Amino acid sequence: MTPVVLAKSVLLGVPLWLFVSSLLTFKPAWLKHLVSIAAGVAVALAMVTLIPTGILSYMTTFILMASIYGVLSLGLNVQWGYTGLFNIGIAAFFAIGAFTSALVTTVKPTGFNASFTQQAFGLGLPFWVGLLAAGLMAGVLAWLIGKPTLRLRDDYLAIATIGIAELVRLVFQNERWLANGPQPLRGIPQPASCLAGNGCSWLPGFVNDFFAPLTPRDYPFVYVAIVALVLYVVYRVLERAIRSPWGRVLRAVREEEASAAMNGKDVAAFRMQSFVVGAVIMGIGGALYAHYVVAIDYGHFDPLYGTFLIWVMLMLGGSGNNRGAILGAFVVWGIWSGTSFVVDLLRPTLAAISPDLPSRGPYIRFFLISLLMLFIVLYRPMGILREEKVVSLDRDLA
């Protein structure tokens, strides 16, 4: 076993550990996590040893992107799955989170570089500060949208959110002084990239020595561990919140607002809280995306990728179920990624039919995703994992 295999196995074992621990239910917790860590590292070691390097790298980036979309899907689940808020402007919070974190963590260019890259500011702060700032700005935007619309019918919220999403995208497209306009905003730092480089000064020497065999090409193994940890933290916090009295009020508002109001609950306030919390999570997802792709522009937040695809993920996985939201993200991203191979296989056939058809092959992906959404609505409206029935605990009723 080479040092690089061991280093990759440890990093890839993080998402597998968290996945196994979310499935196990026995106690005590320390034993559950001990078993999960052992299982995760063992599976990761087998994957790194047996799977060819190219396929392993593809699988790692797949897990990484699916996890980012899992965070976005969890945010939508808070709004729609638990409260019934029809938000079809996810791309706005996705974009705000991405651009905010980029501006907070990059350094504003000066001199000759300033003529190629323009941005309103560049604070050069750490990754975790950018993550928090992204969630904060997305939450502020949600509050501004929700204040005049959440007291109205759901269709007004839908109109407002889709309008704001397009407005945000067009602002970032046309206002070059803000975030380089139609040109990509480059140079977004990758957190802990030093692990796949010359080592991190803020880590103990033995940790740097352990990961020293990694090269910059192995960075996705580092970042997939970071994204998996963020996804797990968001998931655990939401699970606690949804099982609390706050979460039960959200479901009551979703099922029957009038009954919740008659029981003394401020329906408008709880709808606002749900909308803001979901937007904060979406903003964090946007920040994770920005630090992975390194360069972003308005085109990354098209309504198809930034809104519609996330809705399909939640509907397929199971609205009102946090595990279902994550599962839907992995399944739909797998279908979305897999259809690119289908398109490549069909190119000779399409060319035989008409020379123009191969250039239109990517639209097959949109068609297949649309068919999947239609199938869900008709035959599996509750999703793969139905909403869990949560029983109130005695201590919550006291």
Q: How far is CA 100 from CA 106, 231, 284, in A?
A: 10, 19, 10
Local confidence band at 178 (pLDDT 50, 70, 90 cut-offs): very high
> Which residues make Cβ contacts (< 8 Å) with residue 120, sequence separation at least 6?
103, 177, 178, 179
Decide: 141 and 92 in contact? Cβ < 8 Å.
yes
Name the burial class of residue 29, with classes exposed (0-12), middle (13-18) and buried (19+) by CB atoms within 10 angstroms of its CB.
exposed
What is the average per-residue pLDDT within 99-112? 92
The residues, ordered by sequence, that sit 6+ positions from 153 with a Cβ below 8 Å of its Cβ are: none
Domains and CATH numbers, the chain: 1-50 (no CATH), 51-397 (1.10.3470)
Give the max Cα distance, the chain: 72
Residue 294 and residue 287: Cα distance in Å, rounded? 11
pLDDT digits (tens, 9 = 90+) for 121-135: 999 999 999 999 999
Span 257-303, pLDDT tens digits: 889 999 899 999 999 999 999 999 999 999 999 999 999 999 999 98
The answer, yes or no, to whether residue 343 has pLDDT greater than 80, is no
Length of the chain: 398
Sign of CA dihedral 265, 266, 267, 272: negative
Q: What is the pLDDT of residues 47-57, one digit of tens each?
A: 999 999 999 99
Whether omega for the bond prior to residue 28 falls within 30 degrees of 0, making it cis, is yes
- Please check the confidence at residue 250 and state whether its pLDDT lies above 80: yes
- Tell me the per-residue pLDDT of 7-26, one tens digit each, with 9 for 90 and over: 999 999 999 999 999 888 87
Question: Alpha-carbon Rg of the chain, whole angstroms?
Answer: 22
First to last CA, the chain: 56
Residue 398, pLDDT score: 39
The DSSP letter of residue 51 is S
How confident is residue 357, by pLDDT bands cut at 50, 70 and 90? Answer: confident
Answer whether residue 397 shows pLDDT above 50: no
The phi and psi torsions of 185 (rounded to 5 degrees) equal -90, 105
Q: Are 283 and 229 in contact (CB under 8 A)?
A: no
* pLDDT exceeds 70 at position 225: yes
DSSP letter assigned to residue 224: H
Nearest to 271 by CA among 74, 86, 72: 86
Can you read off the two tokens belonging to residue 338?
């897999």
Beta bridge partners of 296: 185
pLDDT value of residue 392 = 55
pTM above 0.85, yes or no: yes
Query: For residue 393, is pLDDT > 70?
Result: no
Nearest-CA neighbor of 274 among 325, 306, 327, 320?
320
